[in-house]
C-alpha cells in the first residue's frame, strides 16, 4: 500500500505547531500534524487557568481560550491531524522525501518536516510515594483545570517554583485554607509573588517534604504527613485536596539520534529556521538561535519563517512569503461566511 505524500509534516501540536498548520494552508501546502499527546495545545495545557497578556493585539485571555482559538485557526484549511503518536525515526529517501516512523510502526511520507516539539515530550514530575497514583482520580492534582473546584476547601500545595507560588496566591482568595510545603527555605518563584504569598493567609512550611498520604476511605486523601528535611520532625495536615508542582521531565525521544545539531537539547537553526538537515525546519521552544525570543508570539514568528522556507525548498520559484490575510484571495469566501463582502480588495 503506497503512502500519501504530504508537502509538510509538523511534529508537535503546541502554539508553534498549530500556527504552522494554519500558515501552511495559506501557502497551499498539503499539511499533516503529528502530536504525541491526546490533546493539542502542548505545554499550554498545564496552565489553562492562567491569563495570557503578552500576545500582541490580544486582550488578556485565559490560556484555555487561547488554545481553543489556536486549534480553530489551525483547522482553517483542514490539515490532517494525528494524536497519540510519537515520532521516533525518519529516513531521507533517494528522491529527497522523508519517511517518518512513529512509535506504533506507522509511517508517513513528506517533502519537508517542521519540528515544533517544544522542550520535547512533556511529563509532570509525579509524587514519588507508593500508591499515590490511585488518588489522581479524586483529589491529588498535578495541574489546575478549574479554580472553583477548590472553593472553601483545605488545600495543600507542594513545590517552590512559579507554579506553586502562583496557585497559592490564586487559591488563598477562594479556599478555606492553603498550606504550601517546600523542601527548601528559599522559593524559586518570582520574588514579588513569593513576598505576596508569604504575606497572605497561606500557611507556608519550609523546609518540609511530603512523607505520606493518608486516606480514611481508600479513595481520597484526607491527611498529609510532612517531614522536616533537617530535623525529621513530622506534622499532620488535614486536607481536602493536594496539588503537586514539582516541575517537569522533558524527553526529546530519539530526535538526538537524527543527526541534528543541538545545543542544550534544542535544535540549532539559521535565520530561515532551517536545521542542519536540509528539508527539516524548526519552530518554537525546540529551536535556538541568536536573539531567540521564548514567547508565544516568538513561536508564531518562527512558524512563519519555517513554513515560508519549507515552501521555497519544495518550490524554489515560489514567493518567499504569503500574501497577507487582509488581501489574500484564499479568505474571500471565508470573509463572506463571516458577513463581510470585501471582494474589491482582491481584484
Q: Residues with Cβ < 8 Å from 196, sequence gap 6 or more? A: 169
Indicate the DSSP class of residue 311. H
- Pairing assessment for the beta strands 203-205 and 208-214 based on DSSP bridges: unpaired
Q: At what angle do helices 15-26 and 296-314 cross, to 10 degrees?
A: 40
Residues 96, 110 contacting (CB under 8 angstroms): no
Asked if residue 142 belongs to a known ligand binding site, the reply is no
172/202 Cα distance (integer angstroms): 6
Provide the strand spans (E) within 28-176.
Answer: 31-34, 51-52, 61-62, 80-82, 87-92, 98-102, 107-115, 121-124, 140-141, 154-158
Asked if residue 326 belongs to a known ligand binding site, the reply is yes
- CA-based nearest residue to 262, from 292, 282, 243: 282
- CA-based nearest residue to 284, from 46, 44, 54, 117: 117
For residue 207, cis peptide bond before it (omega within 30 degrees of 0): yes
Asked if residue 47 belongs to a known ligand binding site, the reply is yes
Q: Residues with Cβ < 8 Å from 57, sequence gap 6 or more? A: none
Asked if residue 140 belongs to a known ligand binding site, the reply is no
Asked if residue 239 belongs to a known ligand binding site, the reply is no
Asked if residue 35 belongs to a known ligand binding site, the reply is yes
Residue 130 backbone dihedrals phi, psi, to 5 degrees: -55, 130
1/109 Cα distance (integer angstroms): 12
102/129 Cα distance (integer angstroms): 32
Which residue ranges are tagged as binding site for FAD?
35, 47, 87, 122, 285, 326
Which residue ranges are tagged as binding site?
35, 47, 87, 122, 285, 326
Amino acid at each position: 500500500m503506497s503512502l500519501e505524500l504530504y508537502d509538510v509534516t509538523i511534529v508537535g501540536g503546541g502554539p508553534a505547531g498549530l500556527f504552522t498548520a494554519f500558515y501552511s494552508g495559506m501557502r497551499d501546502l498539503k499539511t499533516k500534524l503529528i502530536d504525541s499527546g491526546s490533546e493539542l495545545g502542548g505545554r499550554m495545557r498545564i496552565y489553562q487557568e492562567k491569563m495570557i497578556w503578552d500576545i500582541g493585539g490580544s486582550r488578556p485571555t485565559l490560556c484555555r481560550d487561547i488554545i481553543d482559538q489556536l486549534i480553530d485557526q489551525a483547522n482553517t484549511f483542514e490539515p490532517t491531524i494525528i494524536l497519540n503518536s510519537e515520532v521516533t525515526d525518519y529516513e531521507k529517501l533517494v528522491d529527497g522525501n522523508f519517511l517518518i516512523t512513529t512509535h506504533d510502526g506507522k509511517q508517513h511520507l513528506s517533502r519537508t518536516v517542521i519540528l515544533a516539539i517544544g522542550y520535547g515530550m512533556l511529563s509532570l514530575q509525579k509524587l514519588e510515594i507508593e500508591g499515590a497514583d490511585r488518588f489522581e482520580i479524586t483529589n491529588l492534582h498535578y495541574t489546575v483545570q478549574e479554580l472553583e473546584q477548590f472553593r472553601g476547601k483545605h488545600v495543600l500545595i507542594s513545590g517552590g517554583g512559579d507554579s506553586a507560588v502562583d496557585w497559592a496566591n490564586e487559591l488563598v482568595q477562594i479556599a478555606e485554607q492553603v498550606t504550601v510545603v517546600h523542601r527548601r527555605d528559599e522559593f524559586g518563584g518570582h520574588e514579588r509573588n513569593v513576598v505576596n504569598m508569604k504575606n497572605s493567609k497561606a500557611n507556608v512550611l519550609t523546609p518540609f517534604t511530603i512523607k505520606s498520604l493518608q486516606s480514611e476511605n481508600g479513595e481520597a486523601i484526607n491527611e498529609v504527613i510532612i517531614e522536616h528535611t533537617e530535623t525529621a520532625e513530622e506534622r499532620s495536615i488535614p486536607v481536602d485536596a493536594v496539588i503537586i508542582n514539582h516541575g517537569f521531565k522533558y524527553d526529546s525521544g530519539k530526535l538526538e539520534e537524527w543527526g541534528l545539531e543541538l545545543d542544550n537539547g534544542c535544535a540549532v537553526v539559521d535565520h530561515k529556521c532551517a536545521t542542519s538537515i536540509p528539508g527539516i525546519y524548526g519552530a518554537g521552544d525546540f529551536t535556538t538561535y541568536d536573539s531567540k525570543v521564548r514567547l508565544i508570539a516568538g513561536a508564531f514568528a518562527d512558524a512563519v519563517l519555517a513554513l515560508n522556507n519549507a515552501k521555497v525548498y519544495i518550490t524554489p520559484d515560489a514567493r518567499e512569503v504569503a500574501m497577507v490575510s487582509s488581501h489574500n484571495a484564499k479568505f474571500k469566501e471565508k470573509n463572506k461566511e463571516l458577513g463581510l463582502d470585501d471582494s474589491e480588495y482582491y481584484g
